[in-house]
Amino acid sequence: MTDAPVIGVLALQGDVREHLIALAAADAVARPVRRPEELAEVDGLVLPGGESTTISKLAVIFGMLEPLRERIRAGMPAYGSCAGMIMLADKVLDGRDDQETIGGIDMTVRRNAFGRQNDSFEAAVNVASLGGGPVTGVFIRAPWVESTGTDVDVLSRLRNGTVVAVRHDRLLATSFHPELTGDHRVHGLFVDMVRASR
């Protein structure tokens, strides 16, 4: 497909391969991104799930943190799932003192809000602007959104009202892992966002 956007997946730690597969299924050209020169070549970026403090430390070690912040500030579309949501948050609760985020979304998230690994669960999640019924949300040591700024659109809440998906302009974030389900609609939404931004 000639108009397929080139979308990177930050490949420092986490479920990189699954996002690459989901993006390709959603008609994007998907590439791993580890270095600033690779970041410069993509139209958009996925920040995968994994361990947010580890991703933060590796972003500093690989010289990626400031280039990521600069590209986000300059309007590059980005999508963060789970740990990626934490990385896109302006404020983090229960984070480590040395934890850095990229920021960009005016929201406060709570790390590991749903509990430990053995508290992981799946739930049907309705996501605004996605047709075809609910997606399966896979929640693994997931964050949730405690609060958002007025310009942030809440796309999804669990039945108890917990916010688990948001969008702010060209930035998208989910508490859950759609890349683990074989349902590529969330990635399709992000690919459409990237295509519209070009």
Q: What is the reported pLDDT for 2?
A: 57
Q: What is the reported pLDDT for 53?
A: 87
Q: What is the reported pLDDT for 165?
A: 97
188 found inside a domain: yes
CATH code: domain of residue 71? 3.40.50.880
| d(C-alpha 7, C-alpha 10), whole Å | 10
Q: What is the reported pLDDT for 99?
A: 77
171 found inside a domain: yes
Catalytic residues: 82, 177, 179
CB 170 within 8 A of CB 76: yes
Number of domains in the chain: 1
Which residues are within 8 A (CB) of 162 and not within 5 positions of it... i.e. 6 or more apart?
144, 145
Segment among 7-11, 73-77, 119-123, 182-186 with least mean pLDDT? 119-123
Nearest in space to 13 (alpha carbons), one of 118, 84, 73: 84
1 found inside a domain: no
113 found inside a domain: yes
130 found inside a domain: yes
Q: Is the pLDDT of residue 136 over 70?
A: yes
CB 76 within 8 A of CB 102: no
**pLDDT (tens digit, 9 = 90+) per residue, 35-53?**
999 999 999 999 999 888 8
The two tokens of residue 53 are: 């403090």
Domain of residue 59: give its range. 6-197
147 found inside a domain: yes
Angle at 186 (CA atoms; ends 145, 123), nearest 5 degrees = 60
H-type helices in the chain, by residue range? 16-25, 36-39, 52-61, 65-73, 83-88, 185-197
**pLDDT (tens digit, 9 = 90+) per residue, 58-82?**
999 999 999 999 999 999 999 999 9
